[in-house]
Structure 1
Amino acid sequence: STCQGTSVTLSATGGSSYLWSTGATTQTINVNPNATTTYSVQVTQNGCTSSDDVTVTVNPVPTINAGADVTINSGDSVTLTATGGASYSWNTGATTSSITVSPTVTTTYTVTGTLNGCQSTDTVTVFVNNLQANAGPDVSICHGYSTTLTASGGDTYLWSTGATTSSITVNPTSTSTYSVTVFVGNLQDTDDVTVYVNPNPNVIITNGSEVTILQGEYVTLSATGANTYLWNNGATQPNIAVSPNATTTYSVTGYINNCSDQKQVVVNVLQSVTANAGNDVTVCLQDNTVTLTASGGDEYLWNTGETTASITVNPEVDTEYSVTVYNALDYDIDEVMVYVNDCADPELPEESSEDLEFLVYPNPTYGNLNIRISGLLSVSSIYLYDISGKTLYHEVISENGEQQSFTKTMNISNFAAGIYLLKLVDNRTVVTKKIILR
């Protein structure tokens, strides 16, 4: 037997001449039948002839298939499987129908298959894709920020976002993974990159957005909501004590995992209050209107109850006025004295008139005040003032000058304890008594 496509040598013996059915007259012939064929030979020896036959069985050549060519990525492996034979021999030395290979470069593998003694060969090529996609390293960003991802390793690119550029800018609201496929010709590879999104801290200055202190005082500013802090004055603690000479804005940046938040607080600096009610003033009783002006603060409160910096008063007796001056954190008090003089020429009493007598008792008193006046010669009145100059009581005691004496008991117990002024006024003179109410 022989394999299809393979020649075989046939040799005859026993004669001196030969004649084959192929027409050949040699003792030996080569034949290459495509199918099983019987050959005959006629042998002659000494005039005698004899014949014989020989059959050449032709076996078909097996169709060996090593499989289709395949492409793998560098570092990967692939299994190659041959079919069509009863036994196999690979150029790697393997004798199984399937082999697993992991070439580092493009490689062609050859397999020889045998069936009924006949062999056939096939090849398969494993293309190694050395294309290496690189989406870049994983990155961390803060919430609300963007980052640029850059891929390399190919001629063209396709991101999972649909972008076809090598670099893309993303702004994820939560941790996200992006993939990119890179292409070189018919080769491609894919890589992933993860963008981790870290939350931003919420920095709070517990003092609020504004705080007010007096110059020279300290205030402690406190921040919360972060792991580390940096103030604009260089401090790195959450709590700082400051004493600025003028109004100053302090800002603090708080950090968590390199994410930051910034807040600020204004420290208002106020000067200490020094009240100034102005200089003492002297006026005439006949023209006793005077304007008093205080300074040194933002707000004012006079003992008259008025709340303006300037007030107009018209005391009839010497009067002390006090003013309390305020700002948001401090206050001070100052006094100013208004002296009242009778600038009119006094009328001289007649030679026959009695001397004026003005008695007040008891003094100090706990409520009842006895008043006794004699020697009145003209229109006369009595007045009761508090220390601020406010008129509390007024009475005309002689309308035409005919009444020369006056007696009265006055109950002042409903007034607050303190100093009061009782004044007698007539055309000749003004007499003032200081009354102490206990």
Structure 2
Amino acid sequence: MHRSALRSGLVAILFGAHALTASLFAQIPTQCLEIESILVDACNPFATCDGSSEGQNEMVRFRTGPNPIALSDLEANWPNGTWRGIVQNTTTASITEQLNSTIVSCGFLLEPPGGVIPPGSSVLLVTSTEMCLVGNSFEALTDTIYLIFQNAGNTAGHFANSPAAGQPASPTPPAGSDVRTLILFDNATNCSDTVSYVRELLVNTEGTYGGQNGETDGGTVEFSWPGVPDVSYVNYGCQAPFDPLFVQAEVDGVLCGGTGTVTLTGEVIGGTFTSVQWQGGTGTFGDPNALNTTYTAGPGDLATVILTLCAQTDCVDPICGTVSIPAGNGPTVTMVPSGPVSLCPGDEVVLTATGADSYLWSTGETTGSISVTSLGTFSVVGTNACGTGSGSVEVIQATGVTVTISGVPQICPGQSTVLTASGASQYIWSTGDFTASITVTAPGIYSVSGSNNCGSATESISVTQAADPVVGISGDLAICAGESTVLSAAGATSYLWSNQATTSSITVDEAGTYTVTGTSVCGTAQASAEVVVDPLPTLSFSGVTQLCPGESTEITASGASQYVWGGGELTASITVTTPGIYSVTGSNNCGSVTGSVTVTEATSPLVSISGDLSICAGESTVLTATGADSFVWNDQTTTASITVEAAGTYTVTGTSACGTAEASAEVVVDPLPSASISGDPQLCAGQSATLVASGGDSYVWSTGATTASITVDTPGAVSVTASNSCGSSTASLEVVVGVPPTVTVSGNTFLCPGATTVLTATSATSVTWNTGASGSTLVVSAPGLYIASVSNGCGTDSDGLAVTASPLNTSFTAIPTSGLAPLNVQFNSTTTPVDATLSWDLGDGESSTAPSPTNVYTTPGQYVVELTATLDGCSSTVSQVILVTSVVSSNPSSITLPNVFTPNGDRHNDLLLMDAVNITSVEVLIYNRWGQKVNELKRVGEVWDGRSMSGEHVSDGTYFYTLVAMGADGVEHTLTGHITVLR
């Protein structure tokens, strides 16, 4: 089947994010497959996807028919580029898993099981496995879609979506438009589906045509089926080409006061669903499970009713849409004009009714407005879906004409004024004008005659010449404190003061500048006045009011303008040399006031300190200085009294008008008593103990003794109270009967080779071991006798254990250790004691517990054979390499040694292994850095385990070797080098 976007009448352009068509329920194509959508212009954010190209992010959505389709049978004929086949592997599985993690709805992506797409499936074909995972969103997916991928390789794009050169995109395809065709094949059934589109018709994210690359991202073509094919050009932005499911509900009609029936229409757009249900309101649905149904109002549906249509999908929650049904009422008819309407003979008036859907006038007319030429009452009945309403208006005979003139009857210099007549339909002014309004520029009397069908009338108005305002302020501008003054403005018709008053006069009692703006018909003017408030006189005095012997002082009065002292002085300041009362009268423009000051005779200061000079620790004392006017203590405090809590000398300097003096006081801090008892409180049999008290000046024991020390010979509680001048304190201890100490040593007396064991000493007293160690536990790494000792004032005790070494010695022989494959090797355990449990690892996956197993090695190589022996909980492992070679003549001989190994017992790289091929004999000598031989290897396949020839572990470091070997091909090999041992 071929569907083309060029057929007349079938091209539909859809702007925004909603498709034009949608399936109501899932349908299965009758043929092999149907193409549903092409994401032509994919999003590819370079910053996020590291340069992923658009050609790797394009997609095709299709639905399979009644038969399954194998991925290997699927093929696409792209508008641009070649088909690269479908791939399904771990990469595609990972992409599918990552995209599923981004879905926030209930949709799901999966790969076809076994590479076969089931019948009736929705499938999304991505053009590359190197797609950008965040380029086109899957968040809103609500359906289950099979996800398949074309093999990567075509980055140039499969649809060539850009418009041709010189042909700007437009809604009308220009001549020679480039039609693009996509064909999908099912080669197994020789079936295909073909779709076509015009690339100039791709829409951008704004729903228009053309634009920069980023603006055209998301351009998609959708194809509908079954029936007549239809094509939609849409743009979902950066979303994968699937339609997000949404529900749309509409209503036809209104409900009237809880009664009536309306028609409901529903549509589920953008996906598949299983069922629908209407709900809400207090009424009943014709069929609540049908998309299109009716709703009959219930008793509670008196206001706006909101109904909900929900579609159930595979999601847990349904997808819903709502519709509001407005509450209807009978119409309220409004008349325009509303009151009695005056009608002159020969005139007509238009009456209009509003508020209903249809009208019936008392004249028989059915329009909203009627024209009447007669007098009387005209009524109308308005009707809507919920009932009827009525209105009426009375048309009465108009009275005679009354003309009035409005406007400003004054003319300012160089200006004009507008006079307007009203009350008639035609006018003629004394100026000869026939308009309702005239503009005049000169003073004078202006008259107008107005007329209509009901008569005529004349009116006149006098226009006078006005002048610009000149504003002035009058009033008393100097007042005394507590008084007020009235400021009056003149020269205008209205006024606005700076204090927002709007009268011509204001009363003020504060100093400041007062401004008034005067307004008249010809403009505004402004004036200002400064109000000064003089203060009432007050008297205050400054100067020293004490006289030291033989000195003088200056007294100064302030707060007035003139001064008269009792002694006749007229200055503000006077100098006095004798004590006494000095009076003065001060005056200014607002009055006078009299005051006096007393001057006394002063003496030199005599400072002393009072307060408790002996305190206890934690207490404080208040030291108070007297005998001066001001004080400064040695800690810079300037109050007469200070509070102190530390011992020391405190000094204060007192100052008065006649000099300074100093005093000091010594504060002593006595400590609080703190009782304690020393001495051994343990009584051994037949002995006594001496206890000594401290921390006070005197003591009283619970035994009655008052000395600092006492001797006790019986167990029990003993207490002592220590006292001094600051209080008392009590301490106590328990005298107990001591017992000789005991100790018991326990632990494993059997020591495995290279292992340690822990011995434990149990005692109530601290433990000392014969090794010099102390503590309740001892880690032992060598056989021997280990003794723990304890002691106290009443005796000593000791206990010990003999730790012996395990006799386990693991070893074995292998005959032969090298040879040609297949190689039969006889192994013999030489382990002692012979009753040890054996476990063989024969290196090729075989194992044994026999003392002398045999094994056949069929493949050339090096095999590490290990024997593990276990006895009395101890285990030991030894190993040996078996070298199996192929036919001697087929391979040249060679041998190498590694330069580092790690013999730390972790079974990884624990042995130094030869890499020998066709070697018949070898000798390796290993030396330390001082040239001392530490070990030697004499057989092919022999290994070094990092021990010296005496069996001790060698230290980490660098060792040197010489190697001489003979190959089966007659070649002699001589090597020298170094080996690093790391543990």
TM-score by length of 2: 0.15
Higher relative contact order (CA 8 A, sep 6+): 1
Q: Would you tell me which structure has more strand in proportion to its own residues?
A: 1
TM-score by length of 1: 0.30
